[in-house]
Amino acid sequence: MGVFERVARPAILAVGRSDGIRRAAEGLPVTRHVVHRFVPGETVASALDSVAQLRNSARLVSIDYLGEDVTDVDAANATVDAYLGLLDALDNRGEPAATVRPLEVSLKLSALGQALPRDGEKIALENAHTICERAQRAGAWVTVDAEDHTTTDSTLSIVRDLRTEFHWLGTVLQSYLKRTQSDCEEFAASGARIRLCKGAYDEPASVAYREREDVTDSYLRCLRVLMVGDGYPMVASHDPEIITAVPAMARESGRGVDDFEYQMLYGIRDAEQRRLAGEGNHVRVYVPFGTQWYGYFVRRLAERPANLKFFLRALAERRHR
């Protein structure tokens, strides 16, 4: 990790935890305009517009209704309702059935009540179950997102419970956590869909690799475990080193193009997404939408200095118009 990244990343993530800065940023029209690079809109209609464009270019989608760390049951219920409305809209698209489902929604369990002080894990499980039932009727997949390391045990416990009924349910594992290779071994053996990403939270060295090279090395080790396992690996990375390593790893493990997929975020490396899809690979784009975009956006800035430089340059250009 370079000096800029080492210093900037914790500072940017700290900004993400400031309610005052969040309120100021959300109130600036110029900020909201630039945010659309990564978050295409705030409504289901805007999300569906992006879905249509991506599907027309042979890409798959995973849609995330933004929000996390809800503090009351009503907010968790509102999130469930939003997902049910989204899945109703996706069901009406009439996508044909396929082994690899082209439509997926991504859930954060903290948005479904996981952190509530009373029965939070039970509430999140029940809410996720409701969404999975509706997704199954709509012919869509569900993947449970990862959050900071303090939630990992609870999240994976809920995922194990849900997979007894919804075997197609996926979850996210983060290669910067030192525990992740072991988690990959468990879930690969059980045949799970696993989205492997590097990780976007500021985790302590006691539980996470802090240097970029160590995170990448861990990613490649974990990906190899998933490739030789019985599940469905989802390679969630924009890193050229990782993307370059995938074809040989897939060949060595006997996987064809239907046996794994690439995943990238909306607004990042669009040309590379198109290139991979044009070569016949499954490429899924993570499309976030909603009004609670601030935390997601700050993590995108913290992940790569290029994103922060883009944001500052775009702000300067907008202000001088």
Active site residue ranges: 145, 195
Neighbours of 147 (CB within 10 A): 22
* Strand ranges in 75-140 using DSSP code E only, listed in sequence order: 103-107
Contact (Cβ atoms closer than 8 angstroms) between residue 256 and residue 217: no
The H or E element spanning position 61 is: strand 60-65
Q: How far apart are CA 148 and CA 166, in angstroms?
A: 24
Contact (Cβ atoms closer than 8 angstroms) between residue 202 and residue 233: no
Q: How far apart are CA 216 and CA 230, in angstroms?
A: 23
Q: How far apart are CA 63 and CA 232, in angstroms?
A: 19
Contact (Cβ atoms closer than 8 angstroms) between residue 261 and residue 268: no
Hunting for tokens 């959050």 — which residue is that? 147
Q: How far apart are CA 219 and CA 174, in angstroms?
A: 8
Q: How far apart are CA 136 and CA 169, in angstroms?
A: 10
DSSP category for residue 202: -
Q: How far apart are CA 40 and CA 112, in angstroms?
A: 23
What contacts 96, CB < 8 A, 6 or more positions away? Answer: none
Q: What are phi and psi of 233, to 5 degrees?
A: -75, 140
Q: How far apart are CA 80 and CA 137, in angstroms?
A: 16
